[in-house]
Structure formats: structure tokens, C-alpha cells
């Protein structure tokens, strides 16, 4: 299964979601997709996830221009800075309520992490365990 977590603008939420997603979808090919070219892993993402024992090591990061078109799932985790990105997948899910991390501190990252953990777990339970 191929899955992408997509964020418009900075890909911090996508990075966080992809790392959390790997905890649930162990056999899936998962990527974090943002709209900005040349982004690197956000150090605050690594910090807040490591507090829960979640690794960002070997996280696959892409831009909207590089993302795969044969995805089973595209989960949009950020719809600011111009609206939701246009993506192609067998199933597209939009979570436009995840806390925007642009210019935010650690507290916002922790809030976004908790939101994403809850939504990804719910998605996993509803989609793959019923």
C-alpha cells in the first residue's frame, strides 16, 4: 500500500503525520509531502515525536511536484496558505483542522502531534480493522 501525508506550505505536519503513520501502517510505503522545495526535516517535529518514542529516521520527504500518482491514500493534514493542495489517489482524505505550525512554538507542535495521533488511529481502526 502507498500512502502520502500532504501539507500545503511547510511540511512539518506532513512529516509528523508520516512518522506517526508508520507506527500503524508498518508494511505501507509512506511519504511526507509539502509544497515547498528543498525543505529538510523540522527539528521540532523530531523533538516532540521522540518524546513518545516515535522515530523520524529514514522519513521519505517529497514535494507536491515529486509525489507519486499511484497512491492508495492521500491524507491532507494542512490546508492553509492558499487552500488544500490538489492531489491524486484512490482515496483522498482532508483533515484541515490540524494545528498550523508556521511560526509556532513547541506547544503547538505537541497539540498537532496529539491531533494527528488521534486521527491516524481512528482512520486505521475504521479502515483496516473492521
pTM of the model: 0.93
Q: What percent of the chain is predicted at pLDDT more than 70?
A: 95
Q: Where are the domains of the chain?
A: 2-129
Provide the mean pLDDT of the chain. Answer: 90
Could you please report the per-residue DSSP string of the chain? -EEEEEESSS-HHHHHHHHHHHHH-TTSEEEEEESSTT----HHHHHHHHTTT---TT-EEEETTT--SSEEEEEEEE--SSSPPP--EEEEEE-TTSPP-TT--HHHHHHHHHHHHHHHHHHHHHHH--
2-129: CATH number: 3.40.50.2300
Residues 85-115: tens digit of each pLDDT: 778 899 999 988 888 888 899 999 999 999 9
Amino acid at each position: 500500500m502507498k500512502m502520502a501525508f500532504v501539507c500545503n506550505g511547510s511540511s512539518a505536519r506532513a512529516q509528523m503525520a508520516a512518522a506517526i503513520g508508520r507506527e500503524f501502517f508498518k508494511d505501507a510505503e509512506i511519504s511526507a509531502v509539502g509544497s515547498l522545495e528543498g525543505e529538510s526535516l523540522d527539528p521540532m517535529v523530531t523533538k516532540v515525536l521522540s518524546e513518545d518514542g516515535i522515530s523520524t529516521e529514514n522519513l521519505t520527504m517529497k514535494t507536491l511536484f515529486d509525489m507519486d500518482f499511484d497512491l492508495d491514500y492521500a491524507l491532507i493534514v494542512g490546508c492553509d496558505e492558499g487552500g488544500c493542495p490538489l492531489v491524486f489517489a484512490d482515496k483522498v482524505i482532508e483533515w484541515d483542522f490540524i494545528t498550523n505550525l508556521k511560526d509556532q512554538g513547541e506547544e503547538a507542535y505537541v497539540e498537532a502531534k496529539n491531533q494527528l495521533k488521534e486521527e491516524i488511529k481512528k482512520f486505521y481502526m475504521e479502515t483496516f480493522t473492521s
